[in-house]
Structure 1
Amino acid sequence: MTCWRELVEYVDRINEWNGASGSALIVMRRGEVVCEHYAGHHSHEAGARPIGADSQFNIASARKSYLGFAAAWALREGKIGSLDDAVTGYLPELDAALLQGTTIRHLLTHTHGLHEDVHGRLFREFAPGRSWAYRGVNVVMITDIIERVTGKTVAEILQEQVFVPLGFTETGWRTEASEHLVQVILDAPERTELNLGTDGSGGGMQRNLFVSARELAQWGQLHLTQGLVEGRPVVPAEIIQLATSVHSPEPTDPALPPMGFFWYVQDRPAARSEIGPAVPHGSFQILGVTGPLVLVVPEEELVVVRMANKRYNYSGPDGDYLHYLREFGDRVMASVS
């Protein structure tokens, strides 16, 4: 724990500045937990439950790593033919002219160029593969495609392939409040939400996936070991390799981040990547808007999970949240001994 003290202090400091009420940090090295830290409470309310090992955080967009896994599983199973298949071949009801040239690859790497207006109508921001933008329409589309071609929701795929084999009980799409669920702090300390779903289908549309820090770390560890658990194969390595390898089209702008299946991947230098420059090549990371983060560094056999519960990651006085995300990764590497 001693060598990670500075990282613990950094995480606590950033969360305090950001107005979070609670946080967690877990570091796994070579399959062993070498740092486990919990701080604060489930909300700022007096008498709120302390954050503990069984606290479950809403992981927001970090849930896309589970969606990426389901997409990789569908590809390996032949349910999706190819990354370069046209989206309209799977969603024929959509405007074929608007989606012309848009592929599964574009959806999974945020290079699709589609967006919605205030009325929910699709429009095009840029040609497929010509730029990068973090939107939500691709998540809806790929989720719909997975369910159509497999006959299963994302949650059902994950339950069968990962959660049951690994004995996960602190990961799930929650529909009812419980003492284990951590509130999300909004724009004031007294304003909170749980963001529970209307059902537990886990199709990917609803943002009600709650996970404990320790199970999120095990999720990262599964990716580090490419599907091995205590030396035995639980998930085919090909699924993990698909999800965490770079699949972005050749960029028109070198600042655009290299992407796997929703994972940011450390490949070429990219100004818009959220991974710090000190983090080794081949590492990968995913983030949620409320602070949850999973960083996997294969070169160091390292998995780092950070949890927080404040909507919007800390951006400092200049509003540059990417600076603090990259700084986190660089501080992780400075702590490795």
Structure 2
Amino acid sequence: MFIRKNLSDKFNPAVSHVNNTYNSVDASGAAIVIIHNNEVVAENYWGNHSKEKDARPVREDTQFHVASVRKSYIGFAVAFAMHNGYITSIDDEVTTYLPTLDSALLNGTTIRHLLTHTHGLREADGEICREFAAGQSWAYRGINISLLTRIVKETTGKTVSEILTEYVFEPLGFTETGWYAQQNDKLAEVIRDTDNPIWKTHASTAGDEMNMYVSARELAKWGYLHLKQGFINGEQVVNSEIVRFATSLQSPQTIDVDLPQNGFLWFVKDLPAQKTEIGEQVPKGSYQILGYTGVAVLVIPKHDVVAVRMFNSFGSPDGFDYLSDIRAFGDTVMECLP
């Protein structure tokens, strides 16, 4: 995928915002890439891959651990399965596709609920339990991701990573996006106080674990693929219906209007929900996804914008309001527009 570069100082406030966040969290490196009107208008890199004295500088090919941003790729795989008829409807119950699960516990829980964090399930001591009735509230838990990746594999016969590689990464020439079983010199270290192995690499590269790393420029291209509804460089690389499924509002109408709103795991801007992670000035129809490392991709179709920020921090320091910060990122991008 080729996108012309035409850097503009109009987006310096957004660059400064990312630089300020970089200096406020425990990170050794950061990056920003913004695409506007089919051109890369901002691209900056700071710091190094780790805090080691001889650490590699952050460069264009540096790949950051994207944490929950990986969920947008999983959402794509579910949309792919639905578009191709492997999944009949997201309103099908989960046990339709995973019949070995406890049908009494999962009664009424649909794929829609998994995609929009309204499933009400959580995992405790290796067991699935219920936190609230499906479709009645919203909670950010990991169990829905493991169930969705299982449904993709059971229905399509392919893993999430196989679907993405075959239908997106290879056609678009992505070489800086993937799930990694081994460390290499392009992967930035996640800066953290505790040695948590799930934030490194994992033996599984099927797309079902938290070992996904992406460069800032390819994460921006991932956002651009969605912005352009799969039509890239004069070719419909991905069916537009897949993108429409993934990025349009799918949250059930039964939840409170102030709870976050989701598409296929993307956070979408629709009603002015109080608990949204998207900035107030960002218009309706936009969508974003944020990871625990501070990585985020924001797509603003109304203004033909994709904005990506990257950090290698593990969470946020005490007193840092990550929700306020990510909202301000989107609002600052909006302030840069004519």
Q: Secondary structure at the match of 1:26?
A: strand
C-alpha separation in 1, matches of 2:279 and 2:186: 32
- Name the counterpart of 2:201: 196
- TM-score, scaled to structure 1: 0.95
The aligned runs of 1:37-52 (5 Å cut-off) are: 37-52=44-59
Matched, 1:93 2:100: yes
Q: Could you tell me which residue of structure 1 aligns to residue 13 of structure 2?
A: 6
Deviation at 1:66, TM superposition (A): 0.4
The amino acid of 1:201's aligned partner reads A
Gaps of 5+ in 1: none
Q: 2-side partners of 1:199 and 1:256: how far apart? A: 33
Change (3 A) 1:185 1:299: same
Q: Is residue 329 from structure 1 mapped to residue 335 from structure 2 by the alignment? A: no
Distance in 2 between the 1:17 and 1:80 partners?
44
1:166 and 1:258 map into 2 onto residues whose CA distance is 30
Instruction: Tell me, yes or no, if structure 1 residue 171 matches structure 2 residue 177.
Output: yes
Which residue does the alignment assign to 2:139?
A: 133
Q: Map of 1:78-117 to 2, 5 A cutoff?
A: 78-117=85-124
Deviation for aligned residue 1:334:
0.7
Give the structure 2 partner of residue 287 of structure 1. 290
Q: Deviation at 1:321?
A: 2.2
User: Could you tell me how far apart the structure 2 residues matched to 1:169 and 1:134 are?
Assistant: 30
Tell me which stretches of 4 or more aligned residues in structure 1 moved more than 3 Å: 191-194
Match of 1:272 in 2: 275
Alignment match, 1:302? 305
Identity across matched positions, percent: 51
Answering whether residue 261 of structure 2 is matched by residue 255 of structure 1, we say: no
For residue 320 of structure 1, report the CA deviation from its aligned partner: 3.4
Distance 2:305 2:16 in 1: 19
What amino acid maps onto 1:199 in structure 2?
Answer: S
Report the Cα offset of residue 277 of structure 1. 0.8
Paired positions, count: 330
Letter of the aligned partner of 1:331 in structure 2? T
**Can you list the C-alpha shifts for 1:79-115, whole angstroms capped at 9, x where unaligned?**
0111110111111111111100000100000000001
Letter matched to residue 95 of structure 2? T
Residue type at the aligned position of 1:15: Y
Amino acid at match of 2:129: F
SS of the residue corresponding to residue 254 of structure 1 reads: coil
For residue 229 of structure 1, what is the aligned residue in structure 2? 232
Q: Tell me how large the CA RMSD over aligned residues is.
A: 1.4
| Structure 2 spans left out of the alignment, 5+ residues | 1-7
